[in-house]
Homo-oligomer: A and B are copies of this chain.
Amino acid sequence: MITAGIIGANGYTGIELVRLLQRHPQVKLLHAGSRSLAGSPYAQEIGSLRSRTELDFRDASIEETAADCDVVFLALPHGIASTQVSSTILERSCIIDLGADYRLKSRELYEQWYGVEHGSPQLLEQAVYGLPEIVGRKAISERNLIANPGCYTTASIVSTAPIARAGIGSIPYIIDAKSGVSGAGRQASQGLMFGEVNESIKAYKLKAHRHTPEIEQMLGQLSGNEVSVQFTPHLVPMNRGILTTTYIRPTEEIAGQLTEEKLRGLYEDMYGGETFIRLLPEGVFPETRWVRGSNYVDIGLTYDQRTGIIIVGAAIDNLVKGAAGQAVQNMNIRFGFEEVEGLGDIPLFP
């Protein structure tokens, strides 16, 4: 049994963390952080937790929270964590940062894409990128600073990693991503109001979405060469779910001999033993409805002989495998629990 705290427990990611941690048999959730709601009973603000928690929202720093928590989850806008996390904190607690501050290994890249100074570049080396199926469990189990991947990133990387690792794709990979609205957070803004989002779809942040360098960093590591991606996110009128559709031209060397079967083999090799990755059978493509509320990544793929393009699709629940679920998975690995502990939910359909 470990103790846990959440900074930013009032956003969608924070609420999802509470949902998962309250039922986790190895965790006692001590702290639900929120500046604006400090003092209010959690269940009064977040009605889904009514009768399930006695916690009050509390305004406490990361340091204060870490004082009595073995693990602290940070669900904060970028730029805050890096100014508050310190070596001292990391000596006593494990920090799982669901924000962007420790995901990029390059401080320069971070400052370029996020437009703020990094508050603790000296900690970047200690941070491990918390995508277990890609970086492996060992690295995660040994670190106290875990940078939980972004939601788009998880789907994008997991669904193309076997291709990057095998070095068979031409760059740029073209990733056309579609997300439900909860990925954009819970802060009031006109653009996210029901009347603006419902009955519409749009692309946004073309060429400029901040998950781009994160995807490129990880695929590049797997490949051994630079991998660039054309990443285009879209906003879809639904609460949860990310679908990525990725288009990759095989390299010239491989193009003539590539078959769907060989392609599928790469995925089976890499993900054969993974609990949370479901490789769909031939001819089946992922749909976000089949993963809702679960930690699964569903992957479907094909190779179009006619055009010479590989198409890979992936579906995740952006709040689970794309955020809170993955954070719990990382916690399980770090503290030696069963990796699926607290993550056994079957997707909720419809």
Interface residues of A (CB under 8 A from B): 12, 15, 19, 22-23, 44, 46-52, 171-172, 174, 176, 178, 180-182, 186-190, 192-204, 206-207, 228-230, 232, 234, 236-241, 243, 245, 247, 275, 278, 280-281, 285-294, 296, 298, 302, 304, 306-309, 311, 313, 315, 344-350
Contacts and interface: CB of A to CB of B under 8 A. Distances in A.
B239 A202 contact: no
| Total identical chains | 4
A238 B298 contact: no
Contacts of A200: 238, 241, 287-289, 292
Contacts of A285: 202-204, 206
Contacts of A291: 48
Contacts of A187: 190
28 contacts: A12-B195, A47-B347, A47-B349, A48-B346, A48-B349, A49-B346, A51-B296, A176-B247, A178-B178, A181-B193, A181-B194, A186-B190, A187-B190, A192-B194, A193-B193, A193-B194, A198-B198, A198-B350, A199-B292, A199-B350, A200-B287, A203-B245, A203-B313, A207-B311, A230-B304, A230-B307, A230-B311, A232-B245
Given A12-B195, A194-B197, A239-B350, A290 B174 contact: no
A246 to B, nearest CB: 10
Contacts of A230: 247, 304, 307, 309, 311
Nearest to A308: B172
A345 to B, nearest CB: 7
Contacts of A47: 287, 289-290, 298, 347, 349
Contacts of A176: 176, 245, 247
Contact of A178 (B234, B241, B247, B347): B234
Contact of A182 (B22, B195, B286): B195
A190 B190 contact: no
Contacts of A304: 206-207, 230
Contacts of A49: 346
Contact of A193 (B186, B237, B241, B344): B186
Contact of A311 (B48, B199, B206, B302): B206
Given A48-B294, A207-B311, 16 more contacts: A47-B287, A48-B291, A48-B292, A51-B275, A51-B278, A174-B247, A180-B199, A186-B190, A192-B195, A202-B286, A202-B287, A230-B307, A230-B309, A234-B243, A234-B245, A293-B293
Contacts of A290: 47-48, 50
Contacts of A348: 19, 48, 292-293, 348
Contact of A19 (B232, B247, B308, B346): B346
Given A12-B195, A48-B290, A22 B346 contact: yes
Given A196-B350, A347-B48, A237 B237 contact: yes
A189 B192 contact: no
A187 to B, nearest CB: 8
